[in-house]
Amino acid sequence: MTDLRTLVRGGTVVTADTETEADVLVVGERVHAVSIDLSDVPTDQVVDATGCYVLPGGVDAHTHLDFPLQGTTTSDDFETGSVAAAHGGTTTVINFALQQRGRTLPASLEEWHHKAEKRSAIDYSFHLIVTDLYRGAADDLRHLVGEGITSFKLYMAYPDDLMVDDGTIYRVLELAGREGALVCLHAENGGVIDVLVQRALADGRRGPAWHGATRPVSAEAEAVHRARCLARLADAPLYIVHLSCEAALTEVEVGRAADEPVYAETCPHYLVLDDSRYSAPGFESAKYVVTPPLRSRADQDVLWGGLRHGSLQVVASDHCPTCLAEKELLGRDDFSLIPNGAPGIEHRLVLLYHHGVRTSRLSLRRVVELFATGPARLFGLFPRKGTIAPGADADLVVFDPRGTTPLGVEHHHMNVDYSLYQGMEVEGRVRTVLARGRVIVDAGRFVGEPGGGRFLPRGESGRP
């Protein structure tokens, strides 16, 4: 069968490095050419991008699809979550694959392959969450790196569940540093937070607003500092997930100034929402039970500066949705039992465009770096993903800067009964999305198919 030839015509092609009026010729699954005028080239179909930007498909490096947590499972599986991601211009996710304590790492990963294959509409890979370093685990980790699982996640929070001790963190960092892998750390002082939580509950402070009050910025900053020390001892790169505040970012900046290979991501909810949301009446504030919690407006301003100046390298969604009704069922009388996490896989690009580009906080090229190129580089997918160039996968987003996107539960495609951004409308709209040369979103309608995505073995991570 002859490869399908698609011409994306008349747009402004934007990568992390360039912005130019050009056509993009796609042959089969790959970009074949990027040139000023390819209108005379024979094609099978044309995508009109006149007046629009043509961007690389997004790489979301932090998602929890079909993920077990706190007595339930996230409401988006690989099918519903990947379709929602596609609507937002994301064409690749790196999902967290959990090792249940007592199970081997290869067996745990195999379970996640079964969850994703034949369901994901976009390409995917995995970070493997390590909770149990059994005898022989180091050999298994090395083998998995050879199979393209080149990032691991460890938790410094959630005692008696996901948290591991500093010795385990050091051992995994040391192995990752030798094998070309990257450790992603959830950096909060879980032991101290647990004390604060138990004290609040004992004092009768049981509502969802107390979630934020028991997870102070100092607990995050201390953990980032400790993580840096451990990574330095292990001679390994380090990636801090969902960084939320100035104090933690300062720790990252100190490390980077000392030439430590420390990287960090933040998330749209930390850039757009603040801790005033915890003043919502009744159980409403449970929508914002995310970890770390929402911070102050002053912290927001510092995070935008970190994105602009390069001390933050990635904006990821941390998509971890649970329906509000289930949050209430599980945690109505005890905020510590509310499943942590919120929906966000669909709205990274439009939120960055509206609150970043339209306000002159970020250039559009910087948004492309944060949304696509940066995570692709850090996690061993570049240049196959994260750019528009001959030979790259034809993951393309036709983005209309004149359009608007209403945000709310009645508009989104995520399988969850609330929106963090209910009632907002942002400038910019994802119009058309191609994934490996196939149009999967057309005029805002999903026209792809579940199972159309592929597993992506990755190269070295943490060596951009």
pLDDT higher than 90, residue 67 = yes
pLDDT higher than 80, residue 2 = no
> Among residues 327, 328, 420, 337, which one has the least CA distance to residue 74?
327
Confidence at 410, pLDDT banded by 50, 70, 90: very high
| Predicted model pTM | 0.97
For residues 216, 218, 220 and 223, what is the CA-based torsion angle, rounded to 10 degrees?
A: -140
Per residue in 280-313, is it b (16+ CB within 10 Å) or e — as a string?
Answer: eeebebbbbbbbbbbbeeebbebbbebbeeebbb
Distance of CA 425 to the CA centre of its chain: 22
DSSP one-letter code for 261: -
pLDDT higher than 70, residue 44 = yes
Domains of the chain: 5-23+36-55+387-436 (2.30.40.10), 57-378 (3.20.20.140)
**Cα dist from 181 to 131, 197, 246, 455, whole Å:** 17, 34, 27, 18
Mind listing the pLDDT tens digit for each residue in 160-174?
899 999 999 999 999
The pLDDT value recorded for residue 10 is 97
* Ranges assigned E (strand) in 28-155: 30-35, 45-48, 53-56, 58-63, 68-69, 72-73, 90-98, 123-129, 151-155
% of the chain surpassing 70 pLDDT:
100
The pLDDT value recorded for residue 464 is 81
Confidence at 280, pLDDT banded by 50, 70, 90: very high
The pLDDT value recorded for residue 39 is 87
The pLDDT value recorded for residue 1 is 52
Mind listing the pLDDT tens digit for each residue in 318-330?
999 999 999 999 9
Contact present, 327 and 286 (Cβ < 8 Å): yes
pLDDT higher than 60, residue 23 = yes
Query: Quick one: average pLDDT of 80-104?
Result: 97
> Mean pLDDT, the chain, as a whole number?
97
H or E element at residue 356: none
The pLDDT value recorded for residue 298 is 98
- Angle at which helix 166-179 crosses helix 137-146, to 10 degrees, equals 40
